[in-house]
Amino acid sequence: MTTSLLQPEQCEPIAAIATPVGVGALAVIRTSGQGVFEIAQRIFRKKSNPSFQFAQSKGYRVHYGTVYDRDGLIDEVIVMVFRSPNSFTMEDMVEFTCHGGPVVVKHLLKVLLDEGCRLAEPGEFTRRAFLNGRLDLLQAEAIGEMIHARTESAFRTAVTQMQGTLSLRLDALREQLLRSCALLELELDFSEEDVEFQSRTELQQQLGTLQEKLRRLIDSYRHGRILKEGVATVIAGKPNAGKSTLLNLLLGEERSIVSHIPGTTRDYIEECFIHEKTMFRLTDTAGLREGSEEIEHEGIRRSYKKISEADLILYLLDISLDDYLDDVAVIREFQERYSNARIIVVANKTDLAPESAERVTQLNEATGNQVCAISAAKGEGLEVLKQHMSSMVEGLDKLHEASVLVTSLRHYEALRNASDSLDNACELIASDSGTELVAFELRSSLDYVGEITGKVVNEEILNVIFEQFCIGK
């Protein structure tokens, strides 16, 4: 039997709009908590049965009728009844579907608040589902990721996590850790008798196996992050290479200011675009040069930080300049310094370059990269560049069957901490340290894994997670 973690004051009735605010055909207002049937009873009249009582209604039932406030009729509505524990929150719930005009919705929500509900906090319905044991914390987060998914791969990853695939993997890890912890704790209870319930060689082997499993999950984060957030793509190069023009061209809108004056872009600009189901998170950066003033210098520093975090770098150069080969040294530095990123050299302003084909060939040979030749001003070569971008990240944004991926920075950091604790435990065992020290590191690792699924509850973490949800979820 699942035990609720809700405090009595947290069971009070709440209400919120569950559909986007604005004009629409229909809108949904949901309520949950103690007393929602009585509140609904005071404002609802069933047309076919004036003596209808919510308390007598079975769960998963739909009723048609009207709702009233003190001034009279508000709207004709459809009401769905969910009885505890067979609801999303595992509490009694009533959902009202009304016409989607903002004034109608406002009146219906107001009468529910007047009759005893309070306005739900962001993510409170999902938070109650977690606290009541309907889903774990990882699954709760996956609901939010599913709602905000912008690509098919991100959506499928969130659905997989919501179904509990990653949770099962972590629960198995935690169960193995728990058994090792229990044996060490037992040794501490019998410390006076110098009993060893598990050989240290066997324990080290088990911890080594757990470490390998943790590392596989940790290593999956880069892939998972790209699925969730898109390919971090930085447009870099010297001032006036055409970076802002290229950003606008890829986005199909005038998002970045274009100017012939060097140093116009003082800070990076981020936007997303999707090509062939792959989402690219584009960043237009300040031109790379020695900044002539403090603000520009700061912009350049931020540019290098973004470049260091990139999955894909579009290094843009002006091929119409006589000194275009000077960029080769910078490109080679990028290839060595940012080896985790994939680099595409983009030769811009081919429309202004004499013998542009020969210059592109020279760049190919000098950089060892396939160079994409474009004219950002005229929109030439853009489709070839997009295709090259997609081929460069092929596989990074695809969800393979049976993949178990880490997509959250919170989960990644918790797994790293759990892995560090296991490393410490193995070192302590190797140095023949005391059982109490080894047990402490194993308990720490156990807690870090438990934080991901909510086996270890941290109120601050819960607040950070659920405040990112919309009010009605």
- Provide the pLDDT for residue 192: 59
- DSSP class of residue 33? S
Instruction: Find the Cα–Cα–Cα–Cα dihedral 77, 82, 88, 93, rounded to 10°.
Output: 60
Task: State phi, psi for 443 to the nearest 5 degrees.
Answer: -65, -40
- Provide the pLDDT for residue 354: 79
Compute the distance between CA of residue 239 and CA of residue 248 in angstroms, rounded to an integer.
16
Q: Is the pTM of this model over 0.75?
A: yes
Predicted confidence (pLDDT) per residue in 417-448, tens digit: 999 999 999 999 999 888 889 999 999 999 99
Residue 290 has a CB neighbour count (10 Å cut-off) of 7
Q: Which residues pair with 347 in a beta bridge?
A: 317, 373
Q: Which residues pair with 236 in a beta bridge?
A: 315
Task: State phi, psi for 99 to the nearest 5 degrees.
Answer: -65, 150
- Provide the pLDDT for residue 152: 81
Mean pLDDT value of segment 274-280? 86
Mean pLDDT value of segment 78-105? 96
Mean pLDDT of the chain: 86
Residue 121 has a CB neighbour count (10 Å cut-off) of 15
Compute the distance between CA of residue 93 and CA of residue 84 in angstroms, rounded to an integer.
8
Mean pLDDT value of segment 342-367? 89
- Provide the pLDDT for residue 21: 85
Lowest mean pLDDT among 128-137, 204-213, 281-290, 459-468: 281-290
Predicted confidence (pLDDT) per residue in 279-318, tens digit: 899 988 876 655 555 655 676 778 788 888 899 999 999 9
Show the domains of the chain with their CATH numbers: 8-135 (3.30.1360.120), 140-221+405-454 (1.20.120.430), 231-392 (3.40.50.300)
Compute the distance between CA of residue 112 and CA of residue 117 in angstroms, rounded to an integer.
6
Mean pLDDT value of segment 387-393? 87
Mean pLDDT value of segment 231-257? 82
- Provide the pLDDT for residue 257: 43
Higher pLDDT, 260 or 374: 374
SS3 content of the chain, % helix, strand, coil (to 5): 50, 20, 35
Are residues 429 and 439 in contact, defined by beta-carbon separation less than 8 angstroms? no
- Provide the pLDDT for residue 263: 47
Predicted confidence (pLDDT) per residue in 147-172, tens digit: 888 888 888 888 989 989 999 999 99
- Provide the pLDDT for residue 156: 86
Tallying the residues shown for the chain, one arrives at 473
Q: Which amino acid is at 458?
A: N
Mean pLDDT value of segment 17-30? 93
